[in-house]
Amino acid sequence: MIEVEHLSLTYHSAKQTHLAVDDVSFTVKQGQFYTLLGPSGCGKTTTLRCVAGLERPDLGEIRIDGAPVSSSNKDVWIPPNRRSIGMVFQSYAIWPHMTVFENVAFPLRYGVKKVSGRDVRDRVQKALDLVQLGHLADRAAPHLSGGQQQRLALARAFVMEPKVLLLDEPLSNLDAKLREEMRIELRHLVKSMGVTTIFVTHEQIEALTLSDVIAVMKNGKIVQEGNPLDIYQRPANAFVADFIGKSNLVPGTVTTNPSANGIVRVDCAWGSLACSAPSGSTSGAIMVAIRPEHLELTPSGSADENVLVGTLEAAAFVGNMTDCIVKVGQTSFKVQLHPDRTPVVGSQVSLYIAARHCLAMRADA
Amino acid sequence: MQRSTFSLSLPKMDRWACVMFAIVACVSVVIIMMPLFMLWLSLREAHPIEPDSAYSFLHFAEVFGDPFILKVLTNTLQFSLIALAVGLFFGVPTAWLVERTDLPGKPAVLTIMTIGLLMPGFAAAMGWLFMLHPRIGIVNRWAMDLFALSEAPFNIASIMGMGWVMGLSLAPLAFIMTAAVLRALDPALEESAQMSGAGFFNVMRKVTLPLAWPGILAAGIYIFTIGFAAFDVPAIIGWSNKIYTFSTYLLLQLSAAEGLPRYGAVSALSMVVIFISGMLIWWYSRLQAHAHRYQVVTGKGYRPRTVALGRKVWLAWGFLGAYFTLSKLLPLLVIIWASLLPYFRYPSAAAFKTISLRQFQNIQWDMTIDGIINTGILMVLTPTLTLAIAVCFSWVVLRSKIPGRVGFDFVAFLPHAIPNIVFGLAAMLFMLFVLQRFVPIHGTIWILLLVFVVARLSYATRMTNATFMQIHKELEEAATMSGVGTGVIIWKVILPLLGPTLIYAWLWMALLTYRELTLAVVLSTRDNLTLPIVVWNAWFSGGFGSAAALTLILMSMMVPLVALYWWLVRRTGLRQA
């Protein structure tokens, strides 16, 4: 549905040039919810704006429904207002001088595909009903709450019935509770419309709960692409492991070839660990990623391998668990323990980690 | 993969974008051509109508070698320094009273300042001339009678006197600019000094003034630049007494009775003046950038510490009242007095007997009505066109992706660095020797319209730029994604959002156009008279009473416009002014 090939864009300013998007390629299938996830400045928004046509890439090709809308080789350029793409902006971009109705009617009245007067009313009403704003049609747009403005932005993007929907951090301006509600609603709305969606966010939890496919970006490149479970459980490198969820990252050296079930032995500062290598062949200097929730308390003196012995340095009760810091040798580990089973600070603890949760990966992104 | 030239090609623009770009490009060419043509004239040895000529700095040597021209330049500097001192003397305390004290009735200050707009500079100059003229001045005659003096104690027809009158009319600007500086100072800085045990005067001396200094200095330079370029006050008071500043001297040279006008020397002097004025503007913008460093942006509404005036409130209002009386009330009364007499004389029982409305009846009504019609047309068209062009400039500079777009912003600011009289002169010469061949508009109101629009473009683009920057770019991008082109974005999104700024700027420019004398004076003929020019002509043909009557007509016709302006500014608050 959407194919992006070898996309590159460099920003030029007076003092420097900045390669914002660096040879990015990906494909979004019909009806898929595709997320570009990464820290600020990673190029995710620029990539999205290239698809929208609001930025013009230096290199590469973008095809929608098989037809190129932007191509450096064929010198094709379809301006953004002719691409029939719905877009929701981070600021919502609700026009403050119009009513709710006028905001939604705008694309139908002035857009490329103009609609006659009667149909405008019906389609706007339908779009507003869809986002539960039907009763507020005549209200002045600035008089809406944050959540309502966000729905209005969605209705305006939907009203043209676009084949492609672009969402640029649409939830980032909402407060925490509203954000959680809108997350569920957004997925429901998009899926019920069957519209192919690209979503940009820096919030891993939004990416994990909403997406069919996540592409994690760093420094203008996609560093890993996969479904949410894959990305979380089998991060391809230390950056992804740390960015998606929390991870303890420990440097080490692989000393053996992978066994039949893919386990390798890794020498770390305090001893040896049995690790799995989800991203395939791994050798030499690597990083080991261990998620805080995968470390379990075990009776001391247990002979099992993959046991870390250290001192509980700090513990903070956060409700459903205790965030702890355990010092093993010179390394501090983040550990999440059950509140009922958290030992006294200062005591010695033994922590077990299963080999399948001990992930060996390339250190660089 | 091969790197293509894709990114270097011009952005493809739709029809409206091309139209706006074309407008900006054409206007820019006109703006640049005017001073360039003047530069060419200043370097050309022969008169412009001669086909061939050598090029040299001959005319510049002429300017710097002429002791009279150097005298004119020192006159101008003295005049603007005195004007600045007087302006700050009245403006700065007023700003402090409004911003940092519990002065009751602050909105009245705004009203006073707005009513002051009714009085154009040339009207105040007339009033002061009637009061302090060495021979006929009312105050002089009174003083002479009262103290049995043999000589008039005051002489308004001097650099000092002209500076005084100019300073009075610059005080509102000094007030507005200083008030902005004080407002931008975080009162917490003063409060913490107070908490450290410093008293009122120490806080003032050690914290408030040092922090406000860059801003006040910048305001000072700005005001000095305006005084430097002033025309109407030196023209009304100085001309007939043969005291010239450069702006009146330029006009004198053009209207020289004997021989051809010295276009070369006039252009050379203009270039010198543009250079001085440009340096001042550059210094101002440097300081402005510096001043912003101290500014603590306070989005939150804060209540600055106000000084309780107590009984001194009478002193404060006395000060403000004195300013109002001196700058507006007295000149107005004297003008009314002059308009009622067959010839100007000292108020006495005999004089009262001659009071009549004959001056109003004897006005040359045919010319006056022409002037009113022309002024009306210009007053509507100038702000409208200027704002339309300014929106195009702002769009190209801030929103398009045209390479080199920032250059257009510089071009739009260029007229600001050129004193109005020089600008009018440049336009006149350009018109006379170049443009007349293609568009014969010399002597029509269209040449006035062209010059008024270009001269006001600096102000208009500052206003539209500032508002444009406050419009979130995504509001326009959302429209683009809705499938519309640049035209719909301009009409349906940008213009409605710019609305309040446009209305305010329109009114302000309409007011300025209505009372504009300087730009019109160079370009006026019998066929494109404006109302201020009718007043000017009456004054110079010696009809003081008739000029006074015409001034009153001009001022009374301004009342609705000023009232509208007052209402608008009162609604949005002093801040916008």
> What are B141-181's pLDDT values in tens digits?
888 888 877 777 788 888 898 999 999 988 888 888 888 78
Of A233, A258, A280, the domain-final residue: A233
Q: Say yes or no: A58 and A126 in one domain.
A: yes
Of A210, A233, A256, the domain-final residue: A233
- What are the chain A neighbours of B400 within 8 Å (beta carbons)? none
What integer is the mean pLDDT of A76-103? Answer: 90
Q: Say yes or no: A203 and A276 in one domain.
A: no
Return the ∠ at Cα A287 (arms to A286 and A292), rounded to 5°.
160
In a domain, A278, yes or no: yes
CB atoms within 10 A of CB B24: 24
Q: Say yes or no: A98 and A219 in one domain.
A: yes
- By Cβ distance, the residue of B4, B474, B499 closest to A72 is B4
What integer is the mean pLDDT of B492-496? Answer: 92
- Band of residue A212 on the pLDDT scale cut at 50, 70, 90: very high
* Distance separating alpha carbons of residues B214 and B290, to the nearest angstrom: 7
Q: Say yes or no: A166 and A67 in one domain.
A: yes
Q: Say yes or no: A225 and A277 in one domain.
A: no
In a domain, A242, yes or no: no
Pairing of β A307-317 and β A348-352:
antiparallel
Give me the CATH number covering residue A355.
2.40.50.140
In a domain, A29, yes or no: yes
Q: Say yes or no: A24 and A172 in one domain.
A: yes
A118 lies in which domain range?
A: 2-233
In the prediction, which pLDDT does B577 show? 35
Query: Are the beta carbons of A334 and A246 closer than 8 angstroms?
Result: yes
- Band of residue B299 on the pLDDT scale cut at 50, 70, 90: very low
Among 2.60.120.10, 1.10.8.60, 1.10.3720.10, 3.40.50.2000, name the CATH number for the domain at B15-56+357-577.
1.10.3720.10
- Band of residue B311 on the pLDDT scale cut at 50, 70, 90: confident
In the prediction, which pLDDT does A8 show? 92
Q: Which residue of B has its CA nearest to A93?
A: B475
What integer is the mean pLDDT of B377-403? Answer: 92
In the prediction, which pLDDT does A309 show? 85
- By Cβ distance, the residue of A56, A75, A87 closest to B481 is A87
In a domain, A243, yes or no: no
- Name the segment(s) of chain B with CATH classification 1.10.3720.10: 15-56+357-577, 71-299+313-353
> What are A312-333's pLDDT values in tens digits?
888 888 888 888 999 888 888 8
What integer is the mean pLDDT of A185-203? Answer: 90
Number of domains present in the structure of chain A: 2
Query: Are the beta carbons of B411 and B31 closer than 8 angstroms?
Result: yes
In the prediction, which pLDDT does B298 show? 46
- By Cβ distance, the residue of B1, B474, B485 closest to A91 is B474
> What are A14-24's pLDDT values in tens digits?
778 888 999 99
Q: Say yes or no: A293 and A151 in one domain.
A: no
State whether A81 and B482 contact (CB < 8 Å): yes
Collect all residues with Cβ–Cβ distance below 8 Å to A141 and sequence separation of at least 6.
Answer: A94, A95, A96, A97, A98, A99, A100, A102, A103, A149, A152
Sheet holding A307-317, edge to edge: A296-298, A348-352, A307-317, A322-328, A331-337
Q: What are φ and ψ of residue A186, in 5° steps? A: -60, -45
- By Cβ distance, the residue of A85, A89, A160 closest to B474 is A89
* Distance separating alpha carbons of residues A106 and A115, to the nearest angstrom: 10
Instruction: State the pTM of this model.
Output: 0.83
Query: Are the beta carbons of A65 and A27 closer than 8 angstroms?
Result: no
In a domain, A241, yes or no: no
Task: Tell me the ipTM for this assembly.
Answer: 0.83
- What are the chain B neighbours of A93 within 8 Å (beta carbons)? 472, 474-475, 477-478
In the prediction, which pLDDT does B575 show? 45
First to last CA, chain B: 57
User: How does the average pLDDT of chain A come out, rounded?
Assistant: 87
In the prediction, which pLDDT does A190 show? 87
In the prediction, which pLDDT does B301 show? 47
In a domain, A171, yes or no: yes
- The residue with tokens 């107005």 is B332
- Band of residue B105 on the pLDDT scale cut at 50, 70, 90: confident
In a domain, A321, yes or no: yes
In 3D, which of B421, B451, B446 has the Cα closest to residue B527? B446
Q: Say yes or no: A8 and A78 in one domain.
A: yes
Q: Say yes or no: A47 and A191 in one domain.
A: yes
Q: Examine the pLDDT at B296 and tell me if it is beyond 60.
A: no
Q: Say yes or no: A202 and A252 in one domain.
A: no
Q: Examine the pLDDT at B90 and tell me if it is beyond 80.
A: yes
* Distance separating alpha carbons of residues B139 and B123, to the nearest angstrom: 18
* Sign (positive or negative) of CA dihedral B326, B329, B330, B331: positive
- Band of residue B64 on the pLDDT scale cut at 50, 70, 90: confident
User: How does the average pLDDT of chain B come out, rounded?
Assistant: 83
Q: Say yes or no: A187 and A63 in one domain.
A: yes
- The residue with tokens 């492609």 is A164
CB atoms within 10 A of CB B3: 10
* Distance separating alpha carbons of residues B456 and B393, to the nearest angstrom: 13
In the prediction, which pLDDT does A213 show? 94
- In the numeric block, which tokens belong to residue A99? 């009513």
- Band of residue B379 on the pLDDT scale cut at 50, 70, 90: very high
Q: Say yes or no: A339 and A287 in one domain.
A: yes
In the prediction, which pLDDT does B449 show? 92
Which of A6, A46, A71, A81 would best serve as a mutation to test chain B binding (most B beta carbons within 10 A)? A81
B274 CB-side CA count, 13 A: 23
Give me the CATH number covering residue A156.
3.40.50.300
- Band of residue B305 on the pLDDT scale cut at 50, 70, 90: low
- In the numeric block, which tokens belong to residue A308? 């870390």
> What are B317-374's pLDDT values in tens digits?
889 889 988 888 888 998 898 888 877 777 777 777 777 778 788 788 888 898 999 9
- Band of residue B388 on the pLDDT scale cut at 50, 70, 90: very high
Q: What are φ and ψ of residue B104, in 5° steps? A: -75, 150
- Band of residue B416 on the pLDDT scale cut at 50, 70, 90: confident
Which CATH fold would you assign to the domain B71-299+313-353?
A: MetI-like fold (1.10.3720)
Residue length of chain A: 365
Sheet holding A67-71, edge to edge: A17-28, A2-12, A59-64, A67-71, A76-77
- Residue A255 C-alpha, separation from nearest chain B C-alpha, in angstroms: 39
In a domain, A42, yes or no: yes
State whether B478 and A84 contact (CB < 8 Å): no
